[in-house]
Structure 1
Amino acid sequence: MSSINIILVHGAWADGSSWAKVIPLLRDKGMTVAAVQLPLTSFDADVATVSRAIALAQGDVVLVGHSYAGAVIGQAGNAPKVKRLVYIDAFAPDAGESAGSLFAKFEAAPLNNEIRPDAEGFLSLTPKGIATLFAQDLDPAEQTILHATQGPINGAALGGTLTQAAWRSRPGFYLIGENDLAILPVEQERMATRMNATIKRVASSHVPMLSHPLVVADFIALAAAGCQGDGNMHNGRLFQE
């Protein structure tokens, strides 16, 4: 696995530290790991940040995105170095779609009621949103830290559309949080099925990388393993432990 680079991309209301529990597990598996820090000021700026990380990688890349970052990796992942895409409770837009356009079509979006805009159009989550809809399976101390360190996202970034969806030409892997109240599991299932992704499910909130880091790390390792063997052998299969 030493030649495989894992690039972890956080979503809205987060930063690179949201992968803090997963990074050492991946490194213990012999992988080279980088977690980007998205500016969350615009979709283009976020894609550019990930593209820079891909350019610095020596060798093949497995690109991992959580939540909003599913849209970001869907665009940045068209770089030739990127061999696999891993979606963690993430939006998976096609060309011409955005995270926001998918969210608007969802049957229910309870998180909407706990999003607060500021005067410049940046969106934040309320403490209640963190505790009851975003990270309800974390302890109160972790929830408090998440709220205090959240990265507000410019609302316009959610409207950034893909020009080409990388999952159309690369194997995709999708981890569904069965207790996710931010992106409901039924919506995740639809996106993952459309991608013909390898699917795994975990009894988690919207932040399985914090509540179930071992499951997340093992799933990323599954995607990385495909880079060194039959490149498509896992694609489109339901993965069971």
Structure 2
Amino acid sequence: MKTIALKEQLNRYFMFAVLIFSFLFTTANSNAQTTAAQIKNVVLVHGAFADGSGWKGLYQVLTKKGYNVTIVQNPLSSLEDDVRVTNLALDKQDGPTILVGHSWGGTVITEAGNHPKVAALVYVAALQPDNEETSVQWLMTAPPAPENGVLSPDDKGVVYYDKAKFHAGFAGDISKEDADFMYASQGAFYAKGFGTPITKAAWRNKPSYGIVATEDKSISPEIERAMYKRSNTKITEIKGSHVVFISQPEAVAKVIIAASKK
């Protein structure tokens, strides 16, 4: 009888152990899934010669996947002003946020990325200066493509993109109709922004992801690779023009989603 009772007791202990293990495994797995998808906020920062409307396709991809997306409208009047409006957008986020910058927007997020809500940075064919470096320093490290249409500043210090070169030089892999709209909606970018140094590069302390647009005619892919390698940024190469986020929104979204799961 004692042997039978002992066996029953051992069986009960065994079943109890199985239940505890199952509970712990399920809880751990659930926590892992929650952690993997915990960052749902994305803030998008456009660059020079553009405005926030260019993010529409990427916005649609990300929102359909459950992300809360905010699009910054940079005044483009100075680095300080663009950082200020980006920080305002970050202030409104309800938790950890992925901060994404395109082109000149990369310089902006390099400074604004120090905001405490920023969990990771994503550079899309973007500039990525270090402390005390300026954007123009990097733009001068490789010869411009023949298609590049950045004009000299006008008498007000504003830089525009040559209309005759905008499609081929800025947005070569989207339709001429869409490129014409982008040209018509570009902001007035003040050249002094290119010459303003970074004071604290956020990529030194935040996980960073960089997209090299391999067909870029506005920022040489060579420059993009050099910046990202220098900073140990995780690099993804995507075949596309300077506006790869418009022509390849799904591919760009994958990089942002990967950043949100780290």
Please state whether the residue corresponding to 2:123 is helix, strand or coil.
strand
Residue 67, structure 1, aligned to residue 103, structure 2 = yes
Is the aligned partner of 1:120 residue 2:120? no
Give the whole-Å Cα distance in 2 for the aligned partners of 1:111 and 1:96.
30
Checking the alignment, whether the CA contact within 8 Å between 1:95 and 1:165 is kept in structure 2 is yes
2:147/2:168 contact within 8 Å kept:
no
1:202-223 CA-to-partner distances (Å, cap 9, x unmatched) read: 1100001111111111111111
Letter of the 1:143 partner, please give it. Answer: A
Match of 2:68 among 7, 32, 37: 32
Secondary structure at the aligned position of 2:116 is classed as coil
Letter in 1 for 2:155: A
* CA offsets 1:173-220 (integer angstroms, 9 cap, x no match): 001100001111111111111111111111100001111111111111
Q: Which amino acid aligns with 1:173?
A: Y
**Match of 1:105?**
141
Q: Which amino acid aligns with 1:49?
A: V
When you count helix as a share of all residues, which structure comes out higher?
2
Q: In structure 1, what is the equivalent of residue 85 of structure 2? A: 49
Q: Could you tell me which of 211, 221, 228 is aligned with 1:185?
A: 221
| 1:113–1:209 CA distance, 2 compared to 1 (3 A) | closer
- Cα distance per residue 1:83-121 (max 9 Å; x no partner): 100000000000001212211233435466542533211
Which 5+ residue runs of structure 1 have no aligned equivalent? 227-241
Q: Secondary structure at the match of 1:95?
A: coil
Q: How does 1:16-31 map to 2 (within 5 A)?
A: 16-31=52-67
TM-score, normalised via structure 2 length = 0.83
Give the greater-gyration-radius structure (CA): 2
Q: 2:184 aligns with which of 124, 145, 148?
A: 148
Point out the more displaced range, 108-117 or 201-210.
108-117
Partner of 1:132: 168
1:9 maps to a residue whose letter is V
- For 2:261 and 2:165, locate their aligned partners in 1 and report how far apart those are by CA, in whole Å: 36
Partner amino acid for 2:68?
A: T
Structure 1 residue 4: Cα displacement: 2.3
The equivalent position to 1:9 in structure 2, one of 27, 45, 50, is 45
Partner of 1:232: none
Q: In 2, Cα distance between the equivalents of 1:65 and 1:48? A: 14
Deviation at 1:2, TM superposition (A): 6.2
Alpha-carbon distance in structure 1 between the residues aligned to 2:114 and 2:142: 26
Q: % of aligned pairs identical?
A: 35
SS in 1 for 2:75: coil
**Is contact 2:41-2:96 (8 Å) kept?**
yes
Give the total of aligned pairs.
Answer: 226
Unaligned stretches of 5+ in structure 2? 1-36
Partner Cα separation in structure 1 for residue 106 and residue 39 of structure 2: 24
Per the normalisation by structure 1, the TM-score is 0.90
> Is contact 2:50–2:186 with CA below 8 Å preserved after alignment?
yes
CA distance in 1, matches of 2:171, 2:134: 24
**Residue 207 (structure 1) aligned with residue 243 (structure 2):** yes
Mapped to 1, the partners of 2:77 and 2:105 lie a distance apart of 13
Aligned-pair RMSD on alpha carbons?
1.4
CA distance in 2, matches of 1:117, 1:109: 19
In structure 2, relative to structure 1, the CA distance for the partners of 1:101 and 1:110 (3 Å cut) is farther
